[in-house]
């Protein structure tokens, strides 16, 4: 019954809070709910290489529509899987996973990235552009490289380890190249964030020592005597350079990293976690994510906590607590292992991921989740998609604002009116003038309350719509109070305007919302 009530509240928008019998705490009003859309090897999109452009577009839109219906409010889309591109790049060829042949443009031609961003924004989904900074060739044995692929043009920039080729992070020209190609996307496209995953220096392969960069260390030691410290410094230089470049171009665009679950084991560092992970990111990938958070070089961290609660070597609950203590005021989103549901003994428990989400919400530092991967999630293993749609995400959520990026709210909507007819009521309003920081309203939130209720704007159960338009229709003809707020691109919310419906009297009300 509780699930049915949730669905009615969100989709029909006819119930007041007083009519809904909720148990437990009020759900979060602001929560990051995202899914990774992986393109490498066609994991998530497109379903196969070489689809015609119309089929690609329909497929991507269908993915977004399904995610949106389940309460997702952001997508993290892999636009550069291996020194190739899902957009017309001046630096790198079109991806083989898009068209079937590296360097071949879509047919009929269209700008895939521009389309994906527009499609996400039309559905009020944030778009995070996911880059793999250092992976250059996914499989050297099966790759068919375009003549202008960077590994062909600049072979001295790369090393091979296992079956993959990687950029050499120790070369200054490599770091400059990667920074500039990311800057190109930030300049030309309306992305909300730049996103890196966990591939920096390569994961170690058993019985295959990694020493491919020894000559580079001798050439550019930068005062280091330890090659491990030198490698970490090289990655630090890239992260800081990307951070500074984004600030210089579009300072409100976010920068996030999704590292492997464990920074360091406590046996190696007293600041580390009580774990026994095999390849901690600091020691093996040479990525000091904790430092980047402390320095403020990144805006969010999304550790890939792909382990079960109570798992001996890396307990999920231990890592949630550790990252919450070490996020240094930046946003913490948890990478959730949708792909593992039902796969082994611990993950065959249908309550595993729901229990993880409950643990996340019990920790005020955790601001949301990202699911890997979209295809796994949409298969609905053990009913997880139903659980999200009808339980955890049955109320809408705004994306948490980042006050260090922007804290100025937009102005309230103007001229809110209500009209009634036999088919229900219609609210209309006007978009406000830009705020002092020149940001305009990107979307609007409609709230509904009983006539005697206070404006509890902190309670998402009162949110009946999140829309980009300036009109909203409800089939309800019951008298009630409606409030509308404006929200800017960076999710700062205005003061509300209020109207009594179905009557056509309009009045301004001060917000009574609690701090969120």
Question: pLDDT category, 8, cuts 50, 70, 90?
Answer: very low
Q: What pLDDT does 345 receive?
A: 85
H or E stretch covering 368: strand 366-372
Per DSSP, what are the bridge partners of residue 91? none
- Rounded CA gap, 62 and 193, in Å? 22
Q: What is the pTM of this model?
A: 0.92
- Rounded CA gap, 256 and 194, in Å? 6
Per DSSP, what are the bridge partners of residue 485? 445
Nearest to 239 by CA among 263, 222, 257, 214: 257
Sequence-distant (6+) residues with CB within 8 A of 306 are 261, 335, 337, 339, 340, 372
Q: What pLDDT does 475 receive?
A: 86
- Rounded CA gap, 74 and 336, in Å? 14
| Torsion angle of C-alpha atoms 276, 165, 39, 391, degrees rounded to 10 | 10
Task: Give pLDDT tens digits for 16-42.
Answer: 333 333 345 899 999 999 999 999 999
Contact between residue 411 and residue 435 where contact means Cβ atoms under 8 Å apart: yes
Task: Give pLDDT tens digits for 243-267.
Answer: 999 999 999 999 999 999 999 999 9
Task: Give pLDDT tens digits for 195-224.
Answer: 999 999 999 999 999 999 999 999 999 999
Q: What is the DSSP letter of 382?
A: G
Task: State phi, psi for 509 to the nearest 5 degrees.
Answer: -125, 140
Nearest to 32 by CA among 81, 75, 87, 78: 75
- Rounded CA gap, 323 and 195, in Å? 18
Contact between residue 249 and residue 183 where contact means Cβ atoms under 8 Å apart: yes
Question: pLDDT category, 465, cuts 50, 70, 90?
Answer: very high
Nearest to 145 by CA among 105, 95, 98, 85: 95
Task: Give pLDDT tens digits for 114-146.
Answer: 999 999 999 999 999 999 999 999 999 988 999
Stretch 388-415: mean pLDDT: 97
Structure tokens at 63: 């993915």
- Rounded CA gap, 508 and 465, in Å? 20
Cis peptide before 356 (omega within 30 of 0): no
Distances (CA, A) of 195 to 77, 79, 186: 9, 10, 12
- Rounded CA gap, 77 and 45, in Å? 9
Q: What pLDDT does 1 receive?
A: 36
Task: State phi, psi for 306 to the nearest 5 degrees.
Answer: -90, 40
């Amino acid at each position: 019954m509780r699930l049915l009530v949730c669905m009615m509240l969100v989709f029909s928008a006819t119930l007041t809070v007083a009519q809904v019998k909720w148990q437990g705490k009020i759900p979060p009003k602001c929560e990051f709910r995202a899914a990774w859309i992986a393109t490498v090897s066609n994991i998530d999109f497109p379903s196969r290489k070489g689809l015609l452009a119309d089929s690609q577009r329909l497929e991507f839109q269908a993915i977004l529509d399904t995610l949106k219906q389940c309460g997702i409010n952001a997508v993290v889309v892999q636009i550069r899987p291996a020194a190739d591109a899902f957009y017309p790049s001046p630096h790198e060829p079109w991806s083989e996973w898009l068209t079937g042949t590296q360097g071949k443009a879509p047919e009929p031609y269209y700008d895939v990235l521009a389309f994906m961003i527009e499609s996400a924004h039309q559905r009020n989904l944030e778009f995070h552009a996911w880059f793999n900074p250092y992976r250059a060739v996914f499989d050297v044995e099966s790759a068919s490289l375009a003549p202008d692929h960077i590994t062909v043009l600049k072979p001295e920039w790369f090393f091979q380890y296992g079956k993959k080729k990687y950029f050499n992070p120790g070369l200054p020209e490599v770091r400059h190249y990667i920074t500039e190609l990311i800057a190109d996307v930030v300049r030309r496209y309306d992305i909300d964030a730049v996103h890196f995953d966990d591939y920096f220096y390569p994961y170690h392969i058993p019985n295959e020592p990694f020493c491919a960069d020894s000559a580079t260390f001798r050439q550019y030691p930068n005062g280091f005597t330890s090659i491990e410290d030198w490698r970490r410094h090289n990655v630090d230089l890239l992260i800081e350079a990307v951070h500074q470049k984004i600030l210089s171009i579009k300072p409100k665009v976010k920068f996030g990293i999704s590292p492997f679950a464990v920074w360091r084991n406590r046996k190696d560092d007293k600041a580390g976690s009580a774990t026994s992970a095999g390849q901690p990111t600091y020691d093996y990938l040479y990525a000091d994510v904790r430092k980047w958070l402390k320095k403020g070089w990144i805006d969010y961290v999304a550790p890939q906590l792909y382990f079960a609660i109570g798992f001996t070597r890396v307990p999920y609950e231990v890592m949630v607590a550790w990252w919450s203590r070490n996020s240094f005021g930046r946003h913490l989103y948890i990478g959730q292992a949708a792909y593992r549901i039902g796969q082994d003994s611990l993950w065959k428990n249908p309550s595993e991921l729901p229990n993880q989400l409950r643990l996340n919400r019990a920790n005020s530092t955790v601001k949301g989740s990202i699911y890997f991967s979209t295809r796994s999630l949409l298969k609905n293993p053990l009913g997880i998609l139903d659980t999200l749609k009808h339980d955890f995400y049955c109320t809408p959520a705004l994306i948490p604002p980042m006050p260090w990026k922007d804290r100025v709210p937009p102005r309230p909507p103007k001229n809110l009116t209500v009209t009634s007819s036999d088919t229900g009521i219609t609210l209309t309003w006007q978009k406000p003038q830009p705020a002092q920081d020149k940001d305009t309203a990107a979307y609007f939130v409609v709230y509904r309350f009983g006539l005697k209720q206070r404006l509890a704007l902190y309670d998402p159960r009162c949110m009946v719509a999140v829309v980009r338009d300036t009109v909203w229709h409800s089939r309800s003809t019951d008298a009630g109070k409606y409030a509308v707020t404006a929200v800017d691109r960076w999710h700062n919310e205005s003061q509300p305007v209020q109207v009594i419906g179905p009557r056509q009297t309009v009045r301004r009300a001060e917000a009574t919302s609690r701090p969120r």
